[in-house]
Structure 1
């Protein structure tokens, strides 16, 4: 009879730890959204997303207790101010949930593929199914309201074509005309415009409500970087006379009262940067023009440098939790001497 161990490997340990932090943060953000949202239909979706994040957090907590693993510190009521005035428009909150659902789907899928323990695989599958439902109902309402950011439309080809020349991949040689973007490349450029638009508005809100001057300055830099990346992607589309996707009338109020702790805002920003770098890596591998690949590599480097400066702020303020680590065998050996 096969012995299916229930001892966690590094995959179970790392994915459970990461997902607990992410859901703990989401509970705080969505709880605040529930206090400020005005539109009833949007409120229902926020409430659904909040219930999902809360349930996920509780189920993850039970797994940690059952496995006798220490629970991450994560976030609590100390990281949220429910009395803070409205900071985001209802439409932004709805689009935010869509973007976070996309990040959640990518994270849960990757986590599911990494683990082997049956109960944890079942749990992650449930998380993924719940997130897909949130994505579906959010997309439906955004479409109904006419504020869903659609990808550009392209001409339908009359037949299938083969790549006839290696010039198809050229993008750097000034003596060779660049081919027009293909639909795969347009899709990734559009998606990265969308995610940066959400990130830029988040940084705008965080920059005007953060308590620490270091955090405020960091959020301004993050906002400026997101703006420059949006411009880079839009320019690439416009060169081929392709209309770039534009955000709806999302807005941030003029409030300076922070609904979230600086710790939570910095963690949230680091999560968005990590997701953005992941999106760039996917776009890099899917883009067949060399200039696009190099562009994604450059923008990824800029994002990584920003992430490093953010991590330094978090470490200096004792806001960054250390992921579970492997044993330091050298240190253990020295302790025996």
Structure 2
């Protein structure tokens, strides 16, 4: 019944993006499965891989029923099957946990843009599965003592209200800034964690890329992420809040081609989108003006970095074009 209703632009965008992301995840997770040996971590990486395979199958069935051109996405040619070990088992666990977090946010957005019942059902189920994946990876990380916990602060004993506009200030260098509140601490630490994973991914991609332009792009991404981490950590330390130790998610020293440059650039672009979203949310939630300004400034820096990445992808014909409307003026002038 619902399939007789045409797909909306929001549904087309969500389905197309999901397919691109899932085909990328299939290749990354499939590679990780070759080398993960930890008996607790391997099953959850396998679970994530199986979810991705099921999603791709369901999306392709839906595309075929709708006469929707299946995106090229990524396939086995984007991974070197003979590449040596690159990531530690803890890295793989942390990666799956982080991508489940990103996926949960994405699926929530896709669901909110969907109207047709079958599309809503698909994204509702995908969101449920991704939540289960996040919980499983978090439980394993806790059991192994490799989880990243937000800093602890005292539980409030009474309620209070803001009684001065000074609470919102923070830009004047000659006045003392008020202490951070729990919401601000949470976002500062979350952005330290996400940037830390980004640093390791950029290192692994720079090491294994055979393209000089891509290597330099990844090293630049590492520098930007490290700069952001330092500012966030310094902001916490000014209130004697130490960012808790992050798990060792190191990468090997392999320089063998492992993933295609096209897929690595796409992956970093995906992380940039998520990062800009994180910064925008953090800026909106923070009530100290200096924090808002920093998030806005960093968002612009990340956006500029993402734009230069898109330029590289277009130059090498790596950037697949999303579905869009036809140029009506062009159609009118060039019709036969």
Asked if Structure 1 and Structure 2 have the same fold, meaning a TM-score greater than 0.5 normalized by the shorter chain, the answer is yes
State the Cα deviation string for residues 268-306 of structure 1 (Å, max 9, x = none).
Answer: 010011110010000011000110000000000110111
TM-score, normalised by the number of residues in structure 1: 0.97
Deviant stretches of 4+, over 6 Å: none
Output the CA distance in 1 between the equivalents of 2:55 and 2:3: 25
Contact 1:194 1:245 in 2 (8 A): no
Q: 2:181 corresponds to which residue?
A: 182
- Asked whether the 8 Å contact 1:193–1:245 carries over to 2, the reply is no
Determine helix, strand or coil for the equivalent of 1:151.
Answer: coil
Superposed CA RMSD in Å reads 1.3
1:83 aligned residue: 82
Q: Which residue of 2 aligns with 1:299?
A: 298
1:229 is matched with: 228
| 1:333 CA drift (Å) | 2.1
CA distances 1:254-277 after superposition (whole Å, capped 9, x unpaired): 101122111111100100111100
Matched, 1:43 2:42: yes
Measured in 2, the distance between the counterparts of 1:9 and 1:164 equals 47
CA 1:89–1:159 in 2, change beyond 3 Å: closer, same or farther? same
Summarize deviations over 1:184-239 as a string: whole Å, max 9, x none: 01000111000000000000000000011100010000011110010011011001
1:171 corresponds in structure 2 to 170
Q: Is the 8 A contact 2:168 2:287 kept in 1?
A: yes
Q: For the structure 1 residues 204 and 3, does the alpha-carbon distance in structure 2 shift closer, same or farther, using more than 3 Å as the test?
A: closer
> Residue 21 in 1 paired to residue 20 in 2?
yes
Q: Please tell me whether the aligned partners of residues 270 and 310 of structure 1 are also in contact (alpha carbons under 8 angstroms).
A: yes
Which whole-Å CA distance do the structure 2 matches of 1:239 and 1:190 have between them?
14
Q: Distance in 1 between matches of 2:173 and 2:313?
A: 44
- Take 2:105 and 2:300, find their aligned partners in 1: how far apart are those partners? 21
Question: Aligned partners of 1:313, 1:285: CA distance in 2, in Å?
Answer: 32
Classify 1:4/1:65 alpha carbon distance in 2 versus 1 (closer, same or farther; 3 Å).
closer
Cα deviation, residue 82, structure 1:
2.3
Supply the distance in 1 between the matched residues of 2:4 and 2:236 (Cα, whole angstroms): 51
| Cα contact 2:2–2:118 (8 A) shared by 1 | no
- The residue that corresponds to 2:206 in the other structure is 207
Q: Distance in 2 between matches of 1:211 and 1:132?
A: 36
- 2:280 aligns to what? 281
The answer (yes or no) to whether the contact 1:151–1:190 under 8 Å persists in 2 is: yes
Residues 32, 80 of structure 1: 8 Å contact kept:
yes
State the shift of 1:329 in Å.
1.4
Pairing 1:8–2:11 present: no
| Cα distance in 1 between the residues matched to 2:16 and 2:213 | 27
| Alpha-carbon separation, structure 2, partners of 1:308 and 1:174 | 33
The residue aligned with 1:123 is 122
Secondary structure at 2:30 match in 1: helix
> Aligned partners of 1:322, 1:299: CA distance in 2, in Å?
27
5+ long unaligned stretches in structure 1 = none
Is the 1:203–1:219 Cα contact (8 Å) retained in structure 2? yes
How do residues 231-246 of structure 1 correspond to structure 2 at under 5 angstroms?
231-246=230-245
1:309 aligns with 2:308: yes
Per the alignment, do residues 206 and 4 of structure 1 end up closer, same or farther by CA in structure 2, a change over 3 Å counting? closer
TM-score in terms of structure 2 length: 0.98
Matched, 1:103 2:102: yes
* Shift in Å, 1:335: 2.0
Contact 2:2-2:116 within 8 A present in 1 as well:
no
How many equivalent residue pairs?
A: 336
Quote the offset at 1:116 in angstroms. Answer: 0.3
Over 3 Å counting, the alpha-carbon distance change for 1:126 and 1:78 in structure 2 is: same
Displacement of 1:19 after TM fit?
0.3
